[in-house]
Structures are given as structure tokens and as C-alpha cells.
Amino acid sequence: MSEGPSPNGRRPGTPAAEEQPRLSAVFGIGEFRAIWLADLLSIMGDQLARVALAVLVYGRTGSAAWAAATYALTFLPAIVGGVTLSGLADRYPRRVVLVVSDLVRAVLVAVMALPGLPLPVLCAVLVAVVLFGAPHTAARGALLPELLPGDLYERGLAVSQITSQTAQVVGFAAGGLLVAAVSPSTALLLDAATFLLAAVVLRLGLTRRPRPVRPAGAPAAGGLRDAVAGIADIATDPRRRALVILVWMVGLYVVPEALAAPYADEIGAGTAVVGLLMAADPLGSVLGAWLFVRFVSPRRRARLVGVLAIAAGLPLLLTALRPGVPLTLLLWGLSGMASTAYVMQAQASFVRATPDAIRGRAIGVAASGIIAGQGVAVLLGGVLADVWSPSTSIAVCAGIGVATAAVGAVAWRRASRHREVPDAAAIPPTIV
């Protein structure tokens, strides 16, 4: 019998240069294919729904403020849901959480498609849709390390990142065309169908597993008590505390995307390049995710988290000089490459440093912090842009990010010295 692949996805006896598996290796695992396909369906449907809601609300009210507020509701409730509902992923079997949350969202989005639904009711239903996304995200994040052993885990995260960024761009573009061709209500029904189909894919594609085993004496998961416990879990562990500092401050590097329009006006580029400026970071993210897992060895990735977190802000500092469009695109793309690489690895290290029994709520709290951090950073960037200028605001936020990243990098290095986080090669396979 021939010797099979090792837990890190490599085959014994091969030269070092050939030992790195391709990104596509993750698709050899059927359960990951199911999660990937379900994610793709949901992302495309969500982007379609955002376009449809913007058109629907603006068509009814004629108010840009109402349209913007409705768009914000597709993000903001995730902060509350991530803190209060993510513990459900530790209380029930994670396949059940994934399937039920998709089914509930399918029903709720179908309700939103009802003609003549009062606007306050539509907004309330939208909040519920976003809230039910929190346990889904937590269950998915907690389940992935079981499905992808060793180095395949980082590769799975990279594939998910690339897919997410690409699907968002395609979803927005296709959503605009589709909503123009049909009605917003029909587009919302299509979104509901994507949730329903994703639930079927997950139900058929994932193996049945028991719910996570909670430590003796641990309080039951769910609600405010669980949220407080999740925050305490992170705050009292030096490794996870350092990692969330590095991940939460990434919003400071997202400010250029939010200020693309005023920045383009400042440098006299006009509105035609706004889309290019906004696309620089996502395109850099796709390239950064691929390069990081393709050419950086598993043993070095965790050590580079702090360095890359600092490096991600350095190109943005040069925005203060108001370079031309080509150089700005390059600088923002380089920032996106570094920020995606370090966040992706920080997430992987965070998950590995968290016991399975509390992984769902820990991921929920961390994800909520990312969303909140982005909101605060964008708000700060907007205020500074009004006080000074968009270019100065971007540079100042980047400077704050670099300083914060330096603190987090030092904390991560100290924590890693005391208790080394296992690298990909040391993680045994856990596929059931």
C-alpha cells in the first residue's frame, strides 16, 4: 500500500520545494466543498439583496438617508448578534446551527419580498436576518479546523477570502443588472432561494457530529452571560488578547476605501476612478491571500503576523503626499495584500489557541469586534477628512494603525515565547 499524505497535506519523501500543496487541495475534502459552495451562494445572494433593498427603499421614500440607513442595517446588528448569539454554536451541533440559521434567513428574506410591507417592518425583519447570521458565522468558523487538518486550514481560509472578495464584486455588478431587469421583490426572493439552497447543501454535505463537550462547571452557552464569558476568555489569555488587538485595528486600514470618492475629488481625478480606488484593496486582498499561503512556510506564518500588521499601514502613510492615481492604486493594493495576509493568519492562530468547547462564542466576539472597529475607524476617518483633508485623514488613521499594530506585535511575540501556538505541521488530522 502506498504511503498517504501527512497531516499537513504533504506527501513524505518529496523535495521541500514540492511539499507545499496547492490552494485547490482543500477541494479534495468533500465537507469543505459543501461549506464553500454554501458560502458562495449566500454571498452572491447577500450582495443582490443589498442592491435590491437600496433600490426598494429609495424608490419608496426618495430619501438617500433612508437608503443609507437600510444599507447600514445589513452590517450593524452583526455586532450585537456576534456577542449574544454566537454561543449557540457551542451549545448545539454545528451542522444543525448552520442549517437552521440558513432556513430561518430564507423565510425572513421571503417575508421582506412581500409587496407593500411597511418600511419599519421591513427594517425590523432585516435586523433579524443579520442577527441570525452571527451563529452561522460562529459555527462555520468553529467547524473549519475540524475539516481542514494542518496547513490545509490556512489554505481554506485563503480560498474563502479569495472567493468572498470576488463574489462581492461580481454580486454587486450582477445585482445591479438583475434588479434593473426584474423587480426588487423578485431579487429578494432569489436571495431567499440562495439561503434555502445553501441549507440543503450543508445538510447533505456535512457529517453529523455531536454538540461540543463543555468543560465541567462551565455555564450554559447563550445570552449576555455567555457574551461576558467570551470577552473574559479573550481578555485573560495573552495570546488571544494580542491577536484580537491586531485584528480589531484593521478597520484603520479600511478607511481609504470609505474615503475613495472625496480623495479622488481632492487629487482632481474625478468620479470615474472612484471604483478603481475602491477595488484596489479587494484586489490586493486576493493576491495577498494567494501569495501568503503559496510561498510562506507554515512555520513562519505566525511569526510574521505582527510584522505584516505594521507593514500594512506603511503604504497608506504616503497618501498624505497625494500621489497620482497609478501610485495610489499601487499603495492601497500593497496595503490590502499585507492586511489580508496578517488578518488571515491571526484568525487561524486565534482559532487554534481556543478550546473547541468555547470556540464558537470566541469567534463571535472577535468577529463583532472587527465590525465595530471598522465602523469606528470609518467614522473617525470621515470626521478627520472634514476637519483636514481626505489624504491627511487616511495617513493619520494609518499612523494610528501602525502604532497600534506595534503594540499588538510586541504583545503577540511575548505571548508566543511563553506558550508557542502550534504551527500547521503540528496539528493532527481531526476529520471525522
Q: 8-17, 223-232, 381-390: which range is least confident on average?
A: 8-17
Report whether pLDDT(410) > 80. yes
pTM of the predicted structure, to 2 decimals: 0.76
How far lies 268's CA from each of 271, 276, 387, 389, 394, in Å? 9, 15, 19, 13, 17
pLDDT at 194 over 90: yes
Residues whose CB falls within 8 Å of the CB of residue 383, separated by 6 or more in sequence, listed in order: none
Residue 172 has pLDDT above 70, yes or no: no
**pLDDT at site 431:** 26
Judged by average pLDDT, the poorest of 81-85, 137-141, 393-397 is: 81-85
Query: What average pLDDT does the segment 48-71 reach?
Result: 73
Q: Do residues 319 and 398 lie in contact, with contact meaning Cβ atoms separated by under 8 Å?
A: yes
Q: What is the pLDDT of residue 66?
A: 74
Tell me what pLDDT residue 228 has.
76
**What was the pLDDT predicted at 3?**
40
More confident position, 398 or 276: 398
Q: Is the dihedral of CA 11, 287, 248, 93 positive or negative?
A: negative
pLDDT (0 to 100) of residue 418: 64
The CA–CA distances, whole Å, from 282 to 35, 157, 206, 278 equal 22, 15, 30, 8
Which of 8-22, 211-225, 254-268, 356-370 is the least confident region? 8-22
Average per-residue pLDDT in the chain? 83
**Confidence (pLDDT) at 167:** 75
Domains of the chain from N-terminus onward: 26-212 (1.20.1250.20), 228-423 (1.20.1250.20)
The C-alpha atoms of residue 410 and residue 305 are separated, in whole angstroms, by 11
Q: Which of 47-51, 57-61, 129-133 is predicted most confidently?
A: 129-133
- pLDDT confidence bin for 13, thresholds 50/70/90: very low
| Contact call for residues 187 and 51 (beta carbons, < 8 A) | yes
Query: What pLDDT sits at residue 426?
Result: 37
Model confidence pLDDT, tens digit, residues 216-263: 555 555 556 666 777 888 888 999 999 999 999 999 998 998 888 899
Give SS3 for 8: coil
More confident residue, 11 or 234: 234
Is 35 a residue whose pLDDT tops 70? yes
Q: Tell me, what's the pLDDT at 357?
A: 82
Better-scored residue on pLDDT, 3 or 309: 309
pLDDT band at residue 294 under the 50/70/90 scheme: confident
Q: How far apart are CA 179 and CA 173, in angstroms?
A: 10
Q: pLDDT exceeding 70 applies to what percent of the chain?
A: 83
pLDDT at 309 over 70: yes
Q: Select the more confidently predicted residue: 430 or 343.
A: 343
pLDDT at 388 over 90: yes
